[in-house]
C-alpha cells in the first residue's frame, strides 16, 4: 500500500493569475519519488510557468508541498553561450569545484572537454554540460524545460536515455517539458497535460491514444483531480 512518504511533491489548487490573465488555474497533482513526469500541452499552456512556480520565482495561490530535504536542479530551455568566453571547467566551477569529474561522467562526458569553450560545443555537448551543472551538487529533483531544444535527433535520443539511466541509478525525480510524443512514451512514467488547467494526469503510455492527443493539444477541457 502506498503511503504519503512515497511522494516527493503534492500540489493542491495551484493558480497563477495576473491582471486580465489566468496562466494556471486550479492545478492539483501528486508525484512519486524516483519517477519521471512529462509535462505536455500546447504553447502558452503554462508549462514553463509551472516550473517557475516550483523554483519560487512566480507568485501563486494554492499549496505546494515538497518532502523534507528536497534539493532542485534546473536546466533551462535555452542558454546562449556563443559570446561567453568561458570554459566548461570554469562554468562548472561556479557551482562546485569538487564534483566536476563525477558530474561529467554521469552525463557521458570525460574530462577532455573541460578546457573547451562553451561556445564551441555542439548542441548535444552543451546540453550535457548544462545537465552536469544541474546535478553537480547532487539534487534529488531535476527540472528540464525541453532539454533537447536545438539538438539533432541522434543526440536527443542519447540525452533522454542518459536521463532515464540517471533517474534509475540515482533515484532522482525528474520533471521534464516535452512536445515529442515518443519521448514522452518511452522516457517518462507519468504525464501531466496542461492547458492552463489540468487536461490529463496519468500514465505516459496513454499519450499514444489519438483521442487523448486531441484533448491535450486542442481546446482545454479541465480534468477533475480527486
Asked whether residue 68 is domain-assigned, the answer is no
Predicted TM-score (pTM) of this structure: 0.86
Phi, psi of 185 (to 5 degrees): -65, -45
Asked whether residue 57 is domain-assigned, the answer is no
Please give the pLDDT value at position 46.
93
Cβ neighbors of 114 (< 8 A, separation 6 or more) are: 87, 88, 89, 92, 100, 104
Please give the pLDDT value at position 12.
96
Asked whether residue 125 is domain-assigned, the answer is yes
N residues, the chain: 226
Asked whether residue 151 is domain-assigned, the answer is yes
Tell me which H or E stretch contains 80.
none
Residue 46 CA: distances (Å) to CA of 5, 148, 154, 169 = 28, 19, 29, 30
Report the number of distinct structural domains present in the chain: 1
* 131: nearest Cα among 103, 154, 110: 103
Cβ neighbors of 205 (< 8 A, separation 6 or more) are: 185
Helices (H) and strands (E) in the chain, counts: 7, 9
The Cα 198–Cα 24 span in angstroms is 9
Asked whether residue 167 is domain-assigned, the answer is yes
Asked whether residue 106 is domain-assigned, the answer is yes
Q: Would you put residue 72 in left (φ > 0), alpha (ψ -120 to 50) or beta?
A: beta
Return averaged pLDDT per consecutive 10 residues of the chain, 226 residues in all.
74 94 95 94 91 95 94 80 78 85 88 90 84 89 78 74 81 89 90 93 91 78 66
Asked whether residue 88 is domain-assigned, the answer is yes
Q: Which three cell numbers stand for residue 159?
A: 540525452
Please give the pLDDT value at position 1.
45
Q: What is the DSSP secondary structure assignment for residue 12, as one 8-state letter? A: E
- The widest CA-to-CA distance across the chain, in whole angstroms, is 53
Query: CATH number, domain at 86?
Result: 3.40.50.300
Please give the pLDDT value at position 173.
95
Asked whether residue 123 is domain-assigned, the answer is yes
**Residue 145 lies in domain:** 77-182
Residue 25 C-alpha from the chain's centroid = 20
* 201: nearest Cα among 41, 48, 55: 41
Amino acid at each position: 500500500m502506498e503511503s504519503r512518504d512515497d511522494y516527493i511533491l503534492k500540489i493542491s489548487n495551484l493558480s497563477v493569475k495576473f491582471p486580465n490573465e489566468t496562466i494556471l488555474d486550479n492545478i492539483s497533482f501528486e508525484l512519486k519519488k524516483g519517477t519521471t513526469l512529462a509535462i505536455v500541452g500546447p504553447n502558452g499552456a503554462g508549462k514553463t510557468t509551472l516550473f517557475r512556480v516550483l523554483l519560487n520565482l512566480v507568485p501563486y495561490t494554492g499549496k505546494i508541498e515538497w518532502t523534507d530535504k528536497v534539493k532542485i536542479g534546473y536546466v533551462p530551455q535555452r542558454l546562449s553561450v556563443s559570446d561567453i568566453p568561458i570554459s566548461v571547467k570554469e562554468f562548472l566551477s561556479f557551482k562546485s569545484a569538487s564534483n566536476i569529474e563525477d558530474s561529467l561522467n554521469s552525463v557521458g562526458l570525460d574530462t577532455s572537454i573541460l578546457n573547451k569553450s562553451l561556445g564551441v560545443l555542439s548542441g548535444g555537448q552543451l546540453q550535457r554540460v548544462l545537465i552536469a551543472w544541474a546535478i553537480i551538487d547532487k539534487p534529488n529533483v531535476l527540472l528540464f524545460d525541453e532539454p533537447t531544444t536545438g539538438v539533432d535527433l541522434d543526440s536527443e535520443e542519447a540525452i533522454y536515455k542518459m536521463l532515464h539511466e540517471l533517474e534509475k541509478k540515482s533515484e532522482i525525480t525528474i520533471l521534464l517539458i516535452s512536445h515529442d510524443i515518443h519521448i514522452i512514451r518511452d522516457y517518462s512514467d507519468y504525464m501531466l497535460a496542461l492547458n492552463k488547467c489540468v487536461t490529463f494526469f496519468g500514465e505516459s503510455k496513454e499519450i499514444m491514444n489519438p483521442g487523448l492527443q486531441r484533448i491535450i493539444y486542442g481546446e482545454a477541457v479541465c480534468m477533475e483531480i480527486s
